[in-house]
Structure 1
Amino acid sequence: MDGESDDDSIFDNENVDSGNVSSDGDDFAMEIESNISKERQSEPEDYPFEVLTTDQIVQHMIDSIREVTAVVEIPGTIARILLNHFKWDKEKLMERYYDDDQDSFFREAHVINPFNKPINITKPKLKISGTEECEICFQFFQPNLMTGLKCGHKFCISCWGEYLTTKIMEEGLGQSIACAAHGCDILVDDVTVMNLVPDARVKLKYQHLITNSFVECNRLLRWCPSADCTYAIKVMHVESRPVVCKCGHIFCFECGENWHDPVQCRLLKKWMKKCADDSETSTWIAANTKECPKCNVTIEKDGGCNHMICKNQNCKHDFCWVCLGSWQPHGSSWYNCNRYDEDEARAARDAQEKMRFSLARYLHYYNRYMNHMQSLRFENKLYAAIKAKMEEMQQHNMSWIEVQFLKKAVDILCQCRQTLMYTYVFAYYLRKNNQSLIFEDNQRDLETATEKLSEYLERDITSENLADIKQKVQDKYRYCEKRRNVLLVHVHEGYEKDCWDYTE
């Protein structure tokens, strides 16, 4: 595939609708998100990024391909496969191309070296003079109805079309479709796919798969994780920093999660995995239940009597909940259920107490994390209520500018909730030291102020309490903002000075 027209050919049918239709309430929320975005981007040590539409992503991909083809003079479709192999790192591709053996360079990327003479592995069986047999459907065709890749494997056009359609539509493959010949790992190029696939719908799906692969393989690009958003973010270098999509969503570029300052990406990943799996359920079971000593079924004690009868129909074993011994000798003068076996009891007690402590500690941080998450969801709904309050206040002879303090207050309230939510993830992994005590004091101050601000914003506004509420809300959101900054600055100073120890 040579020339710029070939580079663009697989995306001729790309039709992206990047327009957004929203209600008045959505416009109001978007305006608020925009203000948050501007505030975040104006912070020190700004992190430069660019929001790209699907069309811009495609153009960026085409430009990258052209940069490579201009230097190494290879067909654009091969350049695209090579770039995908090197995660769209042009410098690494160039370095390997000039430093490595060219045959191995192309072989590792599963393409035929375009500078070698064409090969023909397949020797079609001839039935009638001038016809060739397709080794997929075993029918004979004229040579112009047979085609293949530069690896030399040829099949009929119909079988190629069905093969490619299945790979694209059913298996969701785009950049990694290999030759239809068994055991051949040479990748099918873009022009071949577009020429052999008959259905426009399948071609469009292929274009989307290629575009998606470009973003996912390129470390400097990331799709916005917000539902139904089609934008991607492009950065100059990868960092754990917040980026703001045009849809209003703010997320961490490095891990793709909602912006999670002050906790680091690696700890947040561990936390989310811990919350998602059933390890804590197992810890609770170990801390609050015992196993039947005969059939090992798990039993939870729900009464005061220590005489247990296993409810397993095939067991019905009678045993003592305290010592797990058979119940039959209990009460006999010679049985020592009451005697304390120091070593055995200490081991059992230590194991169970450790599990109980671990569970209690986890639940302490998890409950507070979830509480702030739930409060954040509720307070995001405040935007609609605040709009109504602002309109009401304007009816009390206040100007539009004068009522903007309410919108500012909700912005800061949501920021504080989100920060507090992630402070509990940070605190869960934090080992106690002098700096951690300062952190907990800052966390407590911010939490207290945030709760008070939330309370103010949920009050009914009347003409009588208007002035009083305005002053209290303004004072409180300024204090919340100050305490939030103090907490974050302290945590980041700890990162820089390596003050934090973790209990991982």
Structure 2
Amino acid sequence: MNEEDEVMYEDSGNETSGDDVDFAIEADNPSNRDFSCFEDEYEYHFEVLSADEIVQHMVDCIKDVNTVVQIPLTTTRILLNFFNWDKEKLMEKFFDGNQDQLFKEARVVNPFKKVTVAKTMVKKASGTEECKICFVVHSPTQMTGLECGHRFCIQCWNEYLQTKIMEEGVGQTIACPAHNCPILVDDETAMGLLKDSRVKLKFQHLITNSFVKCNRLLRWCPSPDCSYAIKVTYVDTKPVCCQCGHQFCFNCGENWHDPVKCAQLKNWQKKCDDDSETSNWIAANTKECPRCNATIEKDGGCNHMVCKNQNCKADFCWVCLGPWEPHGSSWYNCNRYDEDEAKSARDAQEESRAALQRYLFYCNRYMNHMQSLKFEHKLYAAVKDKMEEMQQHNMSWIEVQFLKKAVDILCQCRQTLMYTYVFAYYLKKTNQSVIFEENQKDLERATELLSEYLERDITQENLVDIKQKVQDKYRYCDGRQKALLRHVHEGYEKDWWVYNE
């Protein structure tokens, strides 16, 4: 393969970089780091890739495919992107399918066929060409184009690419500027035409970002301002830990949420974010006039309601929604008026109120553990001070590490407890759910006691006694957390759990 065919990738596109860059095909320092979060049966191996290592991984993928298909590297990249960087799928289509159709769908010119450049430009006797964007006549050296045959002046190309990249944020799918031409601009052409180093950098960033987003085995770390990505060998709902320290679920990208499954967490977050609970509140705290259906809120103690709709003004009972007139002085016995319509209205009201109260029960506990988790992350600073103080009183560095270990386990238990309330919200009552709630209660009680020890009880006077208590309690919490999670996962495997719709 000729060297001019090689597309060159040097920078990942991290926009904090500075100077003009050429895409350099070889990147140094491949990743040796292999991280795993847990040591139990749920262990999940992965790699953390830096910006340069992401680029190298992309280049390696392109080269792996290109050793077989033997086409320009830029064309290979476009094909891989078309198949979401699934090399096996690309190979299958390339050798078993219609290659002309494949290249057409991927929006590239078939490199195996000699291209007859379309005579779309008006060539003057003096050897000049007219650019169909700016309509200025240029010498042939000032004109260029893709293999589709459409040629434009270098200045128009540069402005077109800059607009697409900087204003529209397009990198992978910039098409030829000719009307209705689907052919994509390859990386080598784009980098050769762009003049501004900032635009080149942005283009590289878009290419790299698309590579990670399209590749199902890669995911950017969702932590703010983190430029690392996680690479796995297979996709699963398992925890991964970034180099920056952030732990998240590889499958959905959210904070690690065991024992809740991704779909349940997504539904819960939607429930918390949208207006569904506002509607529940309205349903639980208001009623409709039985005659005109106007929404009415009870703002006093009297159950005699008068609709304020000027065209209605119905008198009815707030309790049973029946007409007020028959109630007389015995309004408080209105439940004896058991007409079907009134009974249906009461049942709907009670059901809505019960649903709201159930949601608030689990939501309040979920939010409480979330808030406690935020506070307990601040414990690290306080614990550091206590550890330094202890070292000044004849304790070694190793002897005081129990405090940091305790805070680590406390935060893990808080996070698990937070998501157990999401899991419990969707869970129907069964014998196994009762066992789950007992495990949850036991873990919650132990976690609260450990939190109290760490926040209030450690003083220099009781140091020896409290150290043993803290160590015993965090070991107990750790064991109860693992027991709870094992039970939930066993339930998933044996199909124990029954969910509310």
Task: Tell whether the structures are fold-level matches, with TM greater than 0.5.
Answer: yes
User: What's the counterpart of residue 257 of structure 2?
Assistant: 260
Alignment of 1:51-450 (within 5 A): 51-121=48-118, 123-125=120-122, 129-291=126-288, 298-306=295-303, 318-320=313-315, 322=317, 340=337, 342-450=339-447
Deviation digits for residues 35-79 of structure 1 (CA, Å, limit 9, x no counterpart) = xx9893433353111110000000110111111111111000000
In terms of mean alpha carbon deviation, does 141-150 or 172-181 score higher?
141-150
Give the distance between the partners of 1:253 and 1:13, measured in 2 at CA. 21
Question: In 2, Cα distance between the equivalents of 1:470 and 1:323?
Answer: 60
Opposite residue 381 of structure 2, the aligned amino acid is: A
1:346/1:201 Cα in 2 relative to 1: closer, same or farther (>3 Å)? same
- Whether contact under 8 Å (1:242, 1:252) holds in the other structure is yes
- In the alignment, the residues of structure 2 paired with residue 149 and residue 324 of structure 1 have an alpha-carbon distance, to the nearest angstrom, of 77
Q: Distance in 2 between matches of 1:441 and 1:416?
A: 15
Structure-2 change in CA distance of 1:154 and 1:297 (3 Å): farther
Give how far 1:356 is off. Answer: 1.4
Which residue is 1:9 aligned to? 8
Deviation for aligned residue 1:112: 1.2
Q: Distance in 2 between matches of 1:288 and 1:388?
A: 50
Give how far 1:300 is off. Answer: 2.5
Distance (Å, rounded) in 2 between the aligned partners of 1:243 and 1:469: 34
Taking a change above 3 Å as real, the CA distance of residues 311 and 347 of structure 1, as seen in their structure-2 partners, is closer
Shift of 1:89: 0.9
Q: Deviations over 1:365-394 (max 9, x none)?
A: 111111111100000000000001111222
For 1:198, the aligned partner's letter is K
- Asked if structure 2 preserves the Cα contact closer than 8 Å seen for 1:261 and 1:419, the reply is yes
How far, CA to CA, are the matches of 1:239 and 1:63 in structure 2? 24
Deviation at 1:128, TM superposition (A): 6.4
Q: Secondary structure at the match of 2:52?
A: helix
- C-alpha distance in structure 2 between counterparts of 1:332 and 1:427, whole Å: 45
RMSD over equivalenced CA pairs, Å = 2.9
Paired with 1:209 and 1:311, the residues of 2 have a C-alpha distance of 59
* Cα distance in 1, alignment partners of residues 314 and 264 from structure 2: 44
1:320–1:172 distance in 2 versus 1, CA, 3 Å: farther
Confirm or deny: 8 A CA contact 1:287 1:352 kept in the other structure. yes
**Deviations 1:441-469 (CA, angstroms, capped at 9, x unpaired):** 00000000000110111115333211221
User: What amino acid is aligned across from residue 163 of structure 2 in structure 1?
Assistant: T
- Judged with a 3 Å threshold, the aligned counterparts in structure 2 of structure 1 residues 401 and 106 are, in CA distance, closer, same or farther, namely same
Range with greater deviation from structure 2 (118-127 or 200-209):
118-127
1:476 aligned to which of 473, 477, 481 = 473
C-alpha distance in structure 1 between counterparts of 2:338 and 2:50, whole Å: 71
> 1:270 & 1:4 partners in 2: Cα distance?
52
- Match of 2:29? none
Quote how far apart the aligned CAs of 1:156 are: 1.8
Range moving further from structure 2, 455-464 or 407-416: 455-464
TM-score by length of structure 1 reads 0.88
Q: What SS class does the counterpart of residue 432 from structure 1 fall into?
A: coil
Taking structure 2 as the reference length, what is the TM-score of the superposition?
0.89
Counterpart CA distance in 2 for 1:72 and 1:39 is: 35
Superposed CA offset, 1:395-431 (max 9, x none) = 3322221111111110110010011011111111112
Write the distance in 1 (CA, Å) between the matches of 2:288 and 2:88.
60
Quote the Cα distance in structure 1 between the aligned partners of 2:338 and 2:212: 63
Contact 1:284 1:359 in 2 (8 A): yes
Q: Distance in 1 between matches of 2:106 and 2:49?
A: 28
Report what 1:24 is aligned to.
none
Give yes or no for contact 1:127–1:140 (8 Å, CA) kept in 2: no
Point out the more displaced range, 377-386 or 483-492: 483-492
- Distance in 2 (alpha carbons) for counterparts of 1:234 and 1:4: 30
Q: CA deviation at 1:192?
A: 1.3
Q: Taking structure 1 as reference, are residues 11 and 469 closer, same or farther at Cα in structure 2, changes over 3 Å only?
A: same
Aligned residues of 1:84 and 1:217 also touching (Cα < 8 A) = yes
C-alpha distance 4-233 of structure 1, shift in aligned 2 (>3 A) = farther
Instruction: Give the stretch that moved more between structures: 393-402 or 240-249.
Output: 393-402
| Contact persistence 2:35–2:47 (CA under 8 A) | no
In 2, are the aligned partners of 1:176 and 1:187 still within 8 Å (CA)? yes
Answer yes or no: is the 8 Å Cα contact 2:10–2:52 preserved in 1. no
Distance 1:332 1:426 in 2: 48
Once structures 1 and 2 are overlaid, which stretch shifts more, 38-47 or 459-468? 38-47
One-letter identity of the residue aligned with 2:265: L
Q: Which runs of 5+ in 1 are unaligned?
A: 19-36
Q: Distance in 1 between matches of 2:257 and 2:306?
A: 50
Residues 36 and 44 of structure 2 are in contact (CA less than 8 Å); yes or no, is this contact kept in structure 1? no
Which string of whole-angstrom CA distances, capped at 9 and with x for unpartnered residues, describes residues 179-227 of structure 1?
Answer: 1122222111111111122211001000000000000111111111111
Answer with 289-298 or 71-80: which moved more: 289-298
Code of the residue aligned with 2:91 in structure 1: it is M
Alignment-derived partner of residue 489 in structure 1: 486
Offset at residue 324 of structure 1 (A):
11
SS at structure 1 position matched to 2:461: coil
Structure 2's unaligned 5+ residue stretches are 18-33
In 1, are the aligned partners of 2:12 and 2:52 still within 8 Å (CA)? Answer: no
